[in-house]
Amino acid sequence: MVEKLENILLQVSKSPIIDEGKLEQATQLIIKSVIEGLDISRVGVWLYDDESACITSQYLLDANKGEQSSATICATDFPNYFNALKQERTIIANRASEHPATSELKAYLEQFGIVAMLDVPLRHKGKMIGVMCCESTQPERQWTGDEVAFVGILADIYGRAVSAAERVRYEQLLIKHNEDLEQRVAERTKSLEDALSNFKQAQDRLVETEKMAALGKLVAGVAHEVNTPLGIAVTATTHCEHRLKKLKQSFDEGKISRNTLTQYIHDTLDAYALMNSNLERAASLIQNFKKTAVDQSSFELVECSLGDYISSLVISLRPMVKKKKVTIQTHCEEELTIKTYRGALAQVITNLISNCAEHAFKTPDENHQIDIFVEKENADAVVRITDNGAGIEPDIQHKIFEPFYTTARDDGGSGLGLSIVYNLVQRKLNGTIDVQSQLNKGTTFTVRLPNIID
């Protein structure tokens, strides 16, 4: 190849414009290089449409007249020319008006005074996308092999420029998509954060409602139990008042006798003994209830004698299960002292007992039994709450600690009782809880607590 053409190719190949993705500028550089190298005045880049039925001048430059307006030609009007293009080979027409591939372009040739044409395929990713059309108005123009090779190399460089433009376009699309994605993620994140915040608030309200519901059951049971001894005390007081009035009447009438006074004294002592025992019973119930209620509403880290505390707690819980005729017994072989949150522990025991009363025992029965075992295993204190109730189906045992899961939703169950227990044991007491159950044989909840004080 002649040195002039080699130098032009070198300059074009080294130009950063080719790989910057600015296809229009790269096209202008290539076409001007063709005009300079071939010493012609007219060069155009023509690209196929999607169906390859027409080609349109993407950029057409006439050195004498400047850039030309876009033009389109189709296979229906120039079948021979398009059949030649389908061969995807260079069309070398030294006499364009007589060449089989270009002769039917006679009107176009005459309009611009074109004598010779050199059409080189343009390819991108192995596919022919158009043609670079070199047109000469010089008489007797003969395209040399060097010139054909020169234009072919520039056509390949054009393909490189197309790839660069496509890459830049994809990069810009990717950047835009990333920006859109980041915006959508930010919006979705904000939406999820708002939803999560609302969910947490709703969950907290439901948890508090569930806690108060458990405490409400305790209050109802204790109130019923307190009413009985208070009622007896009121009856004894009324009886004493009645006997005192009769004694006063006898005294006023001067009819009081030794036997009457003695009988009054005996009856009054019996009534006062009955009042005293029942008032002490009511006071004990209220004291235990107060202790339980305060514990459940206040979480402080304190030293706790586990067996004694659970035993006193159970006294307050018995009224809650009395309707189902459930007997609760505690078993503690040795004294265990732990440092724990007594209020959280009270809430755990209360909810587990309440859960047993609601789900394990469907109807009242004298044989219903809940046993609470307090033991030491290695460095942990273990509390096992065992019932002889209906048991839990195997396929739902892994779900019972999930929030809002309940088998009693039709009866008003919220599904939060055991979820609260799980969270209190895991997060507040730093312990663990698991469950073993067999249908119609009962259920055992095992709570392991650390921080035993030797």
Q: What is the pLDDT of residue 163?
A: 92
Nearest to 129 by CA among 155, 148, 108: 155
For the chain, the average pLDDT equals 84
Average the pLDDT over each of 48-57, 102-111, 247-256, 330-339 and give the range with the smallest value: 247-256
How sure is the predictor about 433, in pLDDT bands with cuts at 50, 70 and 90?
A: very high
pLDDT digits (tens, 9 = 90+) for 82-130: 999 998 899 999 999 999 999 999 998 998 899 999 999 999 988 999 9
Cα distances (angstroms) measured from residue 257 to each of 140, 253, 384, 391: 164, 11, 64, 67
Question: Would the pLDDT of 415 be above 80?
Answer: no
Cα distances (angstroms) measured from residue 233 to each of 175, 221, 230, 315: 84, 19, 5, 21
Q: What is the pLDDT of residue 267?
A: 82
314: left (phi over 0), alpha (psi -120 to 50) or beta: alpha
| Rounded Cα–Cα distance for residues 190 and 194 (Å) | 6
- At CA 219, angle to CA 213 and CA 220, rounded to 5? 90
Which residues, in sequence order, are bridge partners of residue 194? none
SS3 305: strand
| Residue carrying the six token digits 């398009």 | 82
How sure is the predictor about 387, in pLDDT bands with cuts at 50, 70 and 90?
A: very high
Q: What is the pLDDT of residue 115?
A: 93
How sure is the predictor about 343, in pLDDT bands with cuts at 50, 70 and 90?
A: confident
Contacts of 219 (CB under 8 A, 6+ apart): 289, 293
Residue 225 CB-density burial (10 A; 0-12 exposed, 13-18 middle, 19+ buried): buried
Q: Are 120 and 31 within 8 A, CB to CB?
A: no
Mean of pLDDT values over 440-447: 93
Q: Are 5 and 37 within 8 A, CB to CB?
A: yes
Mean of pLDDT values over 373-377: 91
Average the pLDDT over each of 56-60, 73-77, 115-119, 259-263 and give the range with the smallest value: 259-263
Percent of the chain whose pLDDT exceeds 70: 88
Q: Which domains does the chain have, with CATH numbers?
A: 3-171 (3.30.450.40), 298-449 (3.30.565.10)
The two three-digit tokens of residue 55, written as one number: 């080609």
| Rounded Cα–Cα distance for residues 360 and 348 (Å) | 17
pLDDT digits (tens, 9 = 90+) for 278-323: 787 777 667 656 655 555 555 678 888 888 888 888 887 887 788 8
Q: For 452, what's the count of Cα atoms within 13 Å in the CB-facing half-sphere?
A: 17
